[in-house]
């Protein structure tokens, strides 16, 4: 049974595809709120291992026949890409314990402007003028958002920033390897890698009994983030991106930190100072400039920042 076959007869108009992608970014933004609440009372890596175990269980029956026929080169590409995703999720989630939801969302979003740098180093793709301008604006925004009056940066912000670098490495790896492997199988390999990595860290740091002590609220959060925000979103993303352009996809994805900030302020009572909003705005403008500036000015297509699967 193949996961993508039921989607072959689905047809979306461009606006329906864009709305679907916008819904995906809203779900991603919502997960900041859910995860922040859970990790305040439950170990980080135990929760992540639960989340990705559920996501893997949902996908595995559909992709298992193809996983068994993968070549070692394809499997190695999926595992390597999964390691970057594992680092990104781990650092971002631990960082979220020590910073606010709006800050976490906007700092995580910096991976969009970091991708051109890593693409230059590893893929030999020289960044465009728009990408360079976007990087500059996002860097200034990060300084405004994260540095305190004494010019120090909080541990949560720092961990989240390193996590954004890991996400950028993940996107770069997807650009390098994603087209050589079936998207769903490639994604399942990455999810499996994150599951194994977080399970090992949970056993070492949280203790073997952490899963046994999971409350109903923790299990509900793992179910929602694992099945809805990971497995289901993966299917929606793979479907919707076939009916819209990379530029419009990128615009939709830059809304993720905006949704994270809105949900954090509306439901968790968190706030950003005026300087924080200025920094967040500069990061958002930088993200848009880096991702879609060239396409808007008709110079060349934007580099896709699809997180879990190739276009």
- The pLDDT of residue 310: 33
Q: Is the pLDDT of residue 35 over 70?
A: yes
- The pLDDT of residue 309: 39
DSSP state of 41: T
| Residue where the block lists tokens 């699809």 | 306
Q: pLDDT above 90 covers what percent of the chain?
A: 30
Confidence label for 9 from pLDDT (cuts 50, 70 and 90): low
- The pLDDT of residue 311: 31
Residue of 258 and 245 predicted with greater confidence:
258
Mean pLDDT over 254-281 rounds to 85
- The pLDDT of residue 5: 47
What's the rounded Cα separation, in Å, for the pair 292 and 298?
A: 10
Q: What is the mean pLDDT of the chain?
A: 81
Q: pLDDT above 70 covers what percent of the chain?
A: 82
Residue of 33 and 141 predicted with greater confidence:
33
Q: Is the pLDDT of residue 292 over 80?
A: no
User: Which of 50-54, 100-104, 246-250 is modeled with the greatest confidence?
Assistant: 50-54
Q: Is the pLDDT of residue 233 over 50?
A: yes
**44-83: pLDDT as tens digits:** 999 999 999 999 999 888 888 887 777 888 888 889 999 9
R_g over Cα of the chain: 19
Contact assessment for residue 8 and residue 171, using Cβ atoms and an 8 Å cutoff: no
Q: Is the pLDDT of residue 1 over 70?
A: no
Domain ranges within the chain, ordered by starting residue = 13-296
Mean pLDDT over 87-115 rounds to 90
| Residue where the block lists tokens 């939709």 | 252
- The pLDDT of residue 161: 93
What's the rounded Cα separation, in Å, for the pair 232 and 255?
A: 19
Q: Is the pLDDT of residue 97 over 50?
A: yes
Contact assessment for residue 234 and residue 7, using Cβ atoms and an 8 Å cutoff: no
The pTM (predicted TM-score) of the whole model is 0.81
Mean pLDDT over 153-176 rounds to 88
Mean pLDDT over 234-253 rounds to 72
- The pLDDT of residue 6: 46
């Amino acid at each position: 049974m193949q996961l993508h076959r039921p989607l072959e007869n689905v047809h979306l108009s461009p606006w329906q595809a864009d709305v679907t992608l916008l819904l995906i970014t809203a779900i991603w933004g919502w997960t900041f709120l859910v995860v922040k609440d859970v990790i305040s009372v439950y170990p980080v890596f135990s929760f992540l291992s639960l989340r990705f175990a559920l996501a893997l269980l949902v996908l595995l029956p559909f992709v298992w026949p193809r996983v068994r026929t993968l070549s070692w080169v394809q499997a190695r590409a999926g595992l390597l890409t999964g390691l970057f995703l594992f680092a990104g999720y781990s650092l971002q989630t631990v960082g979220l314990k020590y910073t606010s939801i709006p800050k976490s969302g906007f700092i995580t979003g910096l991976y969009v402007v970091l991708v051109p740098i890593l693409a230059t180093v590893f893929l030999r793709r020289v960044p465009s003028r728009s990408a360079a301008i976007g990087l500059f604006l996002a860097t200034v925004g990060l300084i405004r958002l994260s540095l305190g009056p004494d010019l120090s940066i909080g541990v949560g912000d720092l961990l989240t920033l390193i996590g954004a670098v890991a996400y950028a490495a993940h996107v770069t790896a997807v650009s390098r390897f994603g087209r050589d492997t079936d998207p769903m199988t490639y994604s399942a390999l990455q999810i499996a890698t994150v599951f194994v990595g977080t399970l090992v860290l949970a056993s070492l740091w949280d203790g073997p009994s952490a899963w046994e002590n999971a409350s109903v609220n923790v299990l509900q959060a793992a179910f929602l983030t694992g099945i809805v925000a990971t497995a289901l979103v993966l299917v929606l993303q793979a479907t919707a991106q076939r009916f819209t352009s990379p530029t419009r996809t990128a615009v939709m994805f830059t809304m993720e930190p905006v949704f994270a900030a809105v949900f954090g302020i509306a439901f968790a009572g968190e706030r950003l100072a005026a300087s924080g909003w200025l920094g967040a705005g500069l990061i958002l403008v930088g993200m848009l400039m880096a991702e879609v500036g060239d396409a808007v000015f008709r110079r060349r297509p934007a580099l896709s920042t699809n997180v879990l699967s190739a276009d």
